[in-house]
Amino acid sequence: MEKMDGLSMNIEAEARERLKKVFPECFAEGRLDIDKLLTMCGEYIDNDFEKYKFEWKGKGEALKLAQRRSAGCLRPCREESVDFERTQNLYIEGDNLEVLKLLQTAYFRQVKMIYIDPPYNTGNDFVYEDDFKDPLAKYLEVTSQATKSNPETMGRFHTAWLNMMYPRLRLAANLLRDDGVIFISIDDNEVTNLRKVCDEVFGEENFISQFIWERAFSPKNDAKFVSASHDYVLMYAKSIGTFKIGKLDRSKEAESRYKNPDNDPRGNWTSGDLSVKTYNANTDYEIITPSGRKVRPPHGACWRVSKKRFAELVADNRIWFGEKGDNVPRLKRFFSEIQEGMVPTSILYYKEVGHSQQGRQELKKLFDGKGYFDGPKPIGLIYRLLKIGNVSDNDIILDFFSGSATTAHAVMQLNAEDGGNRQFILVQLPEVCSEKSEAYKAGYKNICEIGKERIRRAGRKILSEVEEANQQIKLGEEEKPLPDVGFKVFKLDSSNLKLWDGIPVGVGNGQLYFEKIRNVIDGVKDDRPALDVVYELMLKLGVPLTCEVIEKEVMGKTVYSVDDDLLLFCLEPDITAEFVEEMAELAPAKIILAEMGFTDDTAMANAHYILQDRGIEIKLV
């Protein structure tokens, strides 16, 4: 019978077990023989310490911070949620480092796409100041403070930013599916360092593109040297061999390139180069055009098809020699035969995805002309990334620097258009708004309040648009399904369980030691609702926060059923063997009970044997 410790997933133990399954011979007496592991992988020890690697002050501590288990929990907040019981979307307030740790068990390799727009480290923006000793305590302290800057005068300017990003990216990588993808917005200040960090975390072989986003539509004449008109979006796959790029819809401009000058019955077409640069002597031959002109491939190149295949294409009228029949042959590509869309390009033009000013205008439209946020990304940019990321129905999208919640807006918009059920998980630190800001004067005390209100307003607008469109459908058309525009709000806090703090009491303080023991005997804090405990434990047991939780009554006691009786919780006193047997009739996979709730040790022992006989796991809190 196991008692839950109230901590997040043990990432180090999980990694060790995975490694042990693959290389059991590299473990001796429970310890990893790193030299043997390297040898097994073909890396032989040569005592050469001058190796290529990316290092900075604090990197080791940052890695330890990522792997340290969290003693926090995510407490549900129904009053700030929308459609709490049915929605599959999440909005989480809290330090994203701790939240990412808490999501590890339930969302390990479950996320299809991650998009983040982290601080760019310009010297004035916010930098998360992690505390390597107690990050949760640091978070609770920070939530009552105004944002902090990271000026270059601090000395370790880049180091502070890297120590903030590194552990978060390590944790984020664990959440991506094998066919998953991550996009990260950044500018010139840290793009070089971010590339190096991502090469280490995701693997440089999984790098796909460094997109250039044209974020400005006019130059700034007051720029000191050059007016910066672009930012970057880095794209990495979790596994380059598994990820499949999403193709884009063909634009009207792209479709206009298809013509039909020879009135081909197959419709409009465009021509493509028939030669290739990869030389093959078997496809280097002379072609005679209908006008009698002799042509060969460009110097050093060859034709892409064999002589026999070329003759077949000519017979099928798939070769174009120009209107006079004397041009170098080109291959006809018919618009009607195109099965997929366009391959994305590395430049994201503002005319196609929007610019910074457009993002601000979109937010102002929702907030009655008020601009409460600096530099929100336009919906079109995230929309385009969702397409490139090949995000399909029921996929999960995570944004753990959610800011103005553009990601949620774009996901809801895409679902409304194609009837999908994509789910978003947004995480944002409740950074305090300046008392001089418009947002604060309007009643928004922190950034999270702006983000949540943006989702509410955008959701109502999208829902009304779909309903209006359904009222105007033509005969034979189907109504569009109403998209999920709700979201469950959770807030990071200390655990609902009484945890042993591990702080030494010192010699001669026996009374204090026994007092600490008495304080943790009853496993649950007195001021925490039972439902908060249920959500904490279900997440740490690997059950997503979107699973349905229903309150039931069994023998006069309140029982919480999770995901159609997958888990059953009862935290009430006077637990008897008969009560446990009655719960077992519901055939759950696990039953979670309060250790101090049993009437006596005999009842606890009997409960253990009853559930063991039925193959039901029991856990205590």
Q: What is the pLDDT of residues 251-291, one digit of tens each?
A: 677 778 889 899 999 999 999 999 998 889 899 999 999 99
Task: Yes or no: say if 29 and 22 are a contact pair by the CB < 8 Å rule.
Answer: no
- Is it the case that residue 102 has pLDDT exceeding 70? yes
Distance in angstroms (rounded) separating the CA atoms of residues 458 and 453: 8
Residue 14 has what pLDDT? 87
Report the 10 Å Cβ neighbour count for 609: 11
Q: Which helix (H) or strand (E) holds 557?
A: strand 557-562
Contact between residue 456 and residue 489 where contact means Cβ atoms under 8 Å apart: no
Whole-structure pTM value: 0.84
Name every residue whose Cβ is closer than 8 Å to that of residue 593 and which is 6 or more positions away in sequence. Answer: 569, 570, 571, 575, 580, 607, 618, 619, 620, 621
pLDDT (0 to 100) of residue 513: 45
Confidence bin at 3 (pLDDT 50/70/90):
confident
Percent of the chain whose pLDDT exceeds 90: 67
Average pLDDT score, the chain:
89
Cα–Cα distance between 451 and 446 in angstroms, integer?
9
Contact 72, 493 (CB under 8 A): yes
Dihedral of alpha carbons 98, 104, 106, 108, sign: positive
Question: 341 pLDDT band (50/70/90 cuts)?
Answer: confident
Query: What tens digit of pLDDT does each residue of 146-205 get?
Result: 455 555 544 467 898 999 999 999 999 999 999 999 999 999 999 999 999 999 999 999
Q: What does the alpha-carbon distance between residue 453 and residue 450 come to, in Å, rounded to a whole number?
A: 5
Does residue 503 have a pLDDT over 70?
Answer: no
Tell the residue number behind the tokens 């033509």, with chain if given.
474
Residue located via tokens 């911070």: 65
d(CA 192, CA 420): 36
Continuous segment of H or E residues that includes residue 66? helix 59-67
* Secondary structure E strands in 400-538: 423-428, 488-494
Q: Could you give the angle at which helices 191-198 and 157-175 cross, rounded to 10 degrees?
A: 40
Helix (H) or strand (E) holding 550: strand 549-554
